[in-house]
Amino acid sequence: MVVCEICKSTEFDVIASEIREGPGIILLCRQCGLTLQDIRQTEQELEKYYNEVYQQTNSLRFGETQMPREHFQDSLSSAGPVFERVRPLLGPEKRILEIGCGSGALLSKIKPHVREAVGAELNKDFVSFIRNDLGITAYAQDVNTMDIPDGSFDIILCIMTLDHLPNPARTIATMKRLLKPDGTIYLEVPNRDDALNHYLPSPNQAKFNMFFWHKAHYFYFTRETLTRLLENEGLTPKIFCRHQYTLVNFLNWYFCGSPQKTFVEATCRSHLFKGNSDFEKKMNILFSDADNSFHKILEETFSGDTLCCIASHQKAFR
Ligand SMILES: [Zn+2]
């Protein structure tokens, strides 16, 4: 029986029966509004999935399986804005842990600014790359089973990972345990209320919804459900919203109902023209200005693709 991770209710509505990879069941908790996937995998299956399947089906380059270094190179561009948000938390005496650190792009940016950076990641090839090529401590292990003393870290990061876990409440409890009393947790998760999930014309709306639900994501959080999940574990969250993708990407979905070919293109190419004619230059400025306004609107209305959350022990605020 499925039990809600937040309110323990067992009453759900089925809101989708098809996901990106094929058949799949998406449920909505009738009591608290948490959206989740009805999928059960053992720890071994989950480990196998992240080591053998995930890099093929969720490549940053559509249809290609990337080597760790290629994945690292492509992740550097998206790690830049995350690093800027995390930067005020860093300091030469700080110890940080990143849960779900991928191929280590964010850790590599953080490392020069802290005393120690540590990563946890299920993909063993990524962990070898982080250790051997980046010289950063990393563990190919579930953070809930790692043998680390309580109160070890000043900062714990979990970027686009909490929604991949079958047990986010337990993992948040682990983060709280590993955090120093005055430490800070910084999380990012996909936003269930992304504008693309609600405001596209038919049939492209249905196409995006199906793309949004995918096998790797057990949970789909909103501002309200993420707040409740953290408060349940005795943390005080502060949530804001951002959007990684461009207006061009939004229009691509709006008119064509399909994603762009690469993550880098979908997040970085904010204009339409490559030439230097007067027309092209002016049109590119138009799109660049519109892109800025687009991002502002999505942040203000909590309709961006990402929810960002800073959380601390409750007593730290008192
Ligand atoms: Zn619930």
**pLDDT (tens digit per residue) in 160-202:** 999 999 899 999 999 999 999 999 999 999 999 999 999 999 9
Quick one: pLDDT band at residue 58, thresholds 50, 70, 90? low
- Distance from the alpha carbon of residue 302 to the mean position of ligand 1, in angstroms: 21
Sequence-ordered list of residues with C-beta below 8 angstroms from that of 129, at least 6 positions apart, any chain: 68, 69, 72, 103, 104
- Distance from the alpha carbon of residue 271 to the mean position of ligand 1, in angstroms: 42
CA distances (Å), origin 42, targets 36, 101, 216: 17, 21, 13
- Distance from the alpha carbon of residue 229 to the mean position of ligand 1, in angstroms: 10
- The residue behind tokens 């779900």 is 100
CA 314 to chain centre: 24
Percent of the chain, pLDDT > 70? 93
- Distance from the alpha carbon of residue 122 to the mean position of ligand 1, in angstroms: 28
pLDDT in the model for residue 318 = 42
Domain ranges of the chain: 43-159, 247-297
Q: Residue 87 pLDDT more than 50? A: yes
Q: Residue 317 pLDDT more than 60? A: no
Q: Residue 47 pLDDT more than 90? A: no
| Strand 235-242 relative to strand 219-220, pairing | unpaired
- Distance from the alpha carbon of residue 8 to the mean position of ligand 1, in angstroms: 6
Q: Are 107 and 130 spatial neighbours (Cβ–Cβ below 8 Å)?
A: yes
CA distances (Å), origin 52, targets 11, 57, 58, 173: 34, 10, 11, 29
Half-sphere exposure of 150 (CA within 13 A, CB side): 5
Q: Residue 267 pLDDT more than 80? A: no
User: What are the two backbone dihedrals, phi and then psi, of residue 157, each rounded to the nearest 5 degrees?
Assistant: -110, 145
- Distance from the alpha carbon of residue 307 to the mean position of ligand 1, in angstroms: 19
Is the link from the previous residue into 203 a cis peptide, with omega within 30 of 0?
yes
- Distance from the alpha carbon of residue 117 to the mean position of ligand 1, in angstroms: 35
- Distance from the alpha carbon of residue 5 to the mean position of ligand 1, in angstroms: 7
- Distance from the alpha carbon of residue 200 to the mean position of ligand 1, in angstroms: 27
Residues 1-36: tens digit of each pLDDT: 899 999 999 999 999 999 998 999 999 999 999 999
Q: Are 71 and 103 spatial neighbours (Cβ–Cβ below 8 Å)?
A: yes
Q: Are 181 and 210 spatial neighbours (Cβ–Cβ below 8 Å)?
A: no
Q: Are 222 and 193 spatial neighbours (Cβ–Cβ below 8 Å)?
A: yes
Sequence-ordered list of residues with C-beta below 8 angstroms from that of 300, at least 6 positions apart, any chain: none
- Distance from the alpha carbon of residue 65 to the mean position of ligand 1, in angstroms: 36
Per-residue exposure over 47-56, b if at least 16 CB sit within 10 Å of its own CB, e if not: bebbeeebbe
Q: Which of 266, 271, 306, 263 is nearest to 74 (CA)?
A: 263
Who has greater pLDDT, 60 or 260?
260
- Distance from the alpha carbon of residue 13 to the mean position of ligand 1, in angstroms: 11
- Distance from the alpha carbon of residue 91 to the mean position of ligand 1, in angstroms: 38
What class has domain 43-159?
alpha beta
Q: Residue 282 pLDDT more than 50? A: yes
pLDDT in the model for residue 314 = 72
- Distance from the alpha carbon of residue 36 to the mean position of ligand 1, in angstroms: 10
- Distance from the alpha carbon of residue 61 to the mean position of ligand 1, in angstroms: 35
CA distances (Å), origin 93, targets 58, 90, 111, 117, 156: 36, 8, 12, 11, 14
pLDDT in the model for residue 62 = 58
pLDDT in the model for residue 54 = 67
Sequence-ordered list of residues with C-beta below 8 angstroms from that of 224, at least 6 positions apart, any chain: 33
Sequence-ordered list of residues with C-beta below 8 angstroms from that of 284, at least 6 positions apart, any chain: 271, 272, 273
- Distance from the alpha carbon of residue 182 to the mean position of ligand 1, in angstroms: 30
Mean pLDDT lowest for which of 55-69, 95-109, 140-154, 265-279?
55-69
Residues 125-160: tens digit of each pLDDT: 999 999 999 999 999 999 999 999 999 999 999 999
Average pLDDT of the segment spanning 294-311: 97
What SS3 state is found at 145? helix
Residues 209-237: tens digit of each pLDDT: 999 998 889 999 999 999 999 999 999 99
E strand segments, 197-259? 219-220, 235-242
- Distance from the alpha carbon of residue 4 to the mean position of ligand 1, in angstroms: 5
- Crossing angle for the helix pair 247-256 and 204-212, nearest 10 degrees? 120
Report how far residue 129's alpha carbon sits from residue 135's, in angstroms, rounded to the nearest whole number: 9
pLDDT in the model for residue 316 = 45
Average pLDDT, the chain: 91
H/E segment holding residue 25: strand 22-29
- Distance from the alpha carbon of residue 241 to the mean position of ligand 1, in angstroms: 22
- Distance from the alpha carbon of residue 123 to the mean position of ligand 1, in angstroms: 31
pLDDT in the model for residue 51 = 74
